[in-house]
Structure 1
């Protein structure tokens, strides 16, 4: 073997520990021939001191050594935060599988059996070194990606907060202008003021959505819980999208199984999430289509808010992509009106904050059903004895 044929990767600092001086000399010669920087130790304590003092990219250790054996050396390396990532190859002359199993349990990366096959020795070392370097590169890439994601979330949060103040001012002054033009019966400029107000509100809603979805990335969003009814949530949601429904000539149909059922939840957030689902249904349905908005009680308890549309449906392979922020799917010929694509991620985050979940169903024949399922714990008990009774008729097409 020649050094040029062995050095397929960059040289490394390697520690070889063995109480057999002949083994130390042979191994060191092979590693030096391959271009590596080699340290040797005759016992585990010396080996650990060398690694802690000088560092190493690989440790090769005999299992049976005085003072500190290879098992304990491996455990000590794994227990030290600054050494824990160093790969350890153990060398054993035992023919019992239990010795190798114990070495792996201690944290060994690989093993070599005595007598060592010196022809394959350096190849084994190169394999472990390459795998270790690849794992380190992956960890660094992961850390960079996580740092980038944290920076992006922080930037979105700061931008969202900074944009709210001027947007509220724009909307407020737009409303003052609208009132003034209305008093003067200046219909043209009143219409301009309406455009200012509507555009400001739309942008403010988008900013709020971005902030909410950004907050959801770092954990469950905070909710303001209070008693509210299914009717209040549905009516609030429908009121929020009344303008969009009118422009699209959509027919909103409300179907409430138990309108006065009381929930302990965040009414504003649930209505906002439901409004996003209704807005999506309107956008993805033909002009003049019917959109059903309602609430039903599944057999297992709880409450499910349901939004059904008459759109083209969603292919199974595209359902997962619908919940990704800033990656809207092109499901409608009126694609330009689709917006940021934050509706489903926002609804999913709100459902999760309430201990529930969002589910999207789209049968092959067309149409999409979005469901926000809340757990039974969110439903108030009637008179402290049993869950509130619901009507027997189930919402058509609702959850089973």
Structure 2
């Protein structure tokens, strides 16, 4: 709904003359013609009335008055006055000389009425003065409302500009993230393809040789069989690791078995990785631990997680270095499966990607850190599935310590 245009309030006329009979005459005559009229008999009283009553829109004043003249009164009333309180001054004079007319013009008065007064003429001049005052005040109200609307529009424009700027920034961020995601996807596909194809090469190549007609020495057949078996185990480990991660991500329950001494489980892990360590010239050690430390939970997954950490440590260690595998009691109860190496330390960016499958700090095919990037992802999820956590921290003497911390199992119900 469109609002009605603003209406200026009803305006009042102030008659100022030091002769009281003239004031009374004009009050009576103008009131009879429907005007609202007030009276004052000197300039100071008139200024006080105008100051106190903003509805006064026209001042009808005698020019010659004791104390302050009507011209001086007009200058005081009109000086610095806003259009929202527009005021018109009509002067009454018995001697309309050129000097008086010029002074009235300079004082910005509305009109000059010659004495002796003709009441109809005074009423007509006052009516025009009132109309002028109303129009000026109404225009000021409209201008103020327009200014408010302009400021509101400017504020809205600024707000929309900020939103547009923020949206543009978010769009740029989204495009950057999309480009980074695309690059990461390409790197990921390249790593997965490389890591899955690599163990297939000896499997297919040596099996093709064995399937041929050529007679091969028994030792060579055993070597080929061993290489095929190693490639198959590597491929199976990769597939099983990926499937375990997917299963844990989808909330697959654990398959707990009977509690087993932690030292025995880690012994099997170390034996399984001994050939890889020897191939890289790395020595594996496991200090004698507490035989009373028992592992509970899904022992297959715990073994796989510890094996992944050990595999990472072997890959990170220079030739001739030692990798330590141990089970330790936690002060608050529970067990920590700890793997320590003395390699170059954590690759840059690895902690930021901890737990992300198939991702490594270096995704290039020429990276110095081989593997598909499943180890930490699996170890992290296995630890969380057992209400524990995976911790990685650099060692002061160089290298890295990886720990799977497992809480003590709840006491059996009596």
Q: Report the TM-score, using the length of structure 1 for normalisation.
A: 0.51
| 1:36 corresponds to | none
Contact 1:307 1:371 in 2 (8 A): yes
| Cα 1:22–1:295 shift into 2, 3 Å | farther
Deviations 1:197-250 (A, max 9, x none): 21122122112223333445x454532122232123212321331221121232
Contact 2:333 2:407 in 1 (8 A): yes
Q: Does 1:21 align with 2:3?
A: yes
| 2:345 corresponds to | 313
Unaligned runs of 5+ in 2: 6-144
Quote how far apart the aligned CAs of 1:305 are.
0.6
| Cα 1:119–1:375 shift into 2, 3 Å | same
| Cα 1:269–1:118 shift into 2, 3 Å | same
> What secondary structure is seen at the aligned counterpart in 2 of 1:361?
strand
User: 1:155-304 maps to which residues of 2 (within 5 A)?
Assistant: 186-216=218-248, 218-229=249-260, 230-304=262-336
Quote how far apart the aligned CAs of 1:185 are.
5.7
| 1:388 corresponds to | none
Contact 1:212 1:221 in 2 (8 A): no
The one of 373, 378, 391 equivalent to 1:341 is 373
Q: Does 1:359 align with 2:341?
A: no
Structure showing greater radius of gyration is: 2
> Over the residues paired in the alignment, what is the CA RMSD in angstroms?
4.5
Contact 1:256 1:295 in 2 (8 A): no
| 1:125 corresponds to | 156
| Cα 1:236–1:257 shift into 2, 3 Å | same
| Cα 1:308–1:377 shift into 2, 3 Å | same
Quote how far apart the aligned CAs of 1:288 are.
2.4
Alpha-carbon distance in structure 1 between the residues aligned to 2:4 and 2:385: 65
Unaligned runs of 5+ in 1: 1-18, 24-113, 386-400
Alpha-carbon distance in structure 2 between the residues aligned to 1:116 and 1:302: 73
| 2:360 corresponds to | 328
| Cα 1:137–1:294 shift into 2, 3 Å | same
Deviations 1:156-196 (A, max 9, x none): 9xx99xx9xxx9xx79x96xx79xx99x8622133223222
Alpha-carbon distance in structure 2 between the residues aligned to 1:233 and 1:22: 89
Alpha-carbon distance in structure 1 between the residues aligned to 2:156 and 2:167: 15
| Cα 1:364–1:221 shift into 2, 3 Å | farther
Alpha-carbon distance in structure 2 between the residues aligned to 1:137 and 1:305: 46
Alpha-carbon distance in structure 2 between the residues aligned to 1:313 and 1:376: 30
Deviations 1:70-102 (A, max 9, x none): xxxxxxxxxxxxxxxxxxxxxxxxxxxxxxxxx
Quote how far apart the aligned CAs of 1:354 are.
0.7
> What secondary structure is seen at the aligned counterpart in 1 of 2:286?
strand
Quote how far apart the aligned CAs of 1:366 are.
0.4
| Cα 1:259–1:124 shift into 2, 3 Å | farther
Contact 1:220 1:352 in 2 (8 A): no
Contact 2:337 2:403 in 1 (8 A): yes
Q: Report the TM-score, using the length of structure 2 for normalisation.
A: 0.49
| Cα 1:240–1:220 shift into 2, 3 Å | farther
Work out the number of aligned pairs and report it: 251
Quote how far apart the aligned CAs of 1:274 are.
0.4
Alpha-carbon distance in structure 1 between the residues aligned to 2:371 and 2:151: 60
Alpha-carbon distance in structure 2 between the residues aligned to 1:241 and 1:206: 15
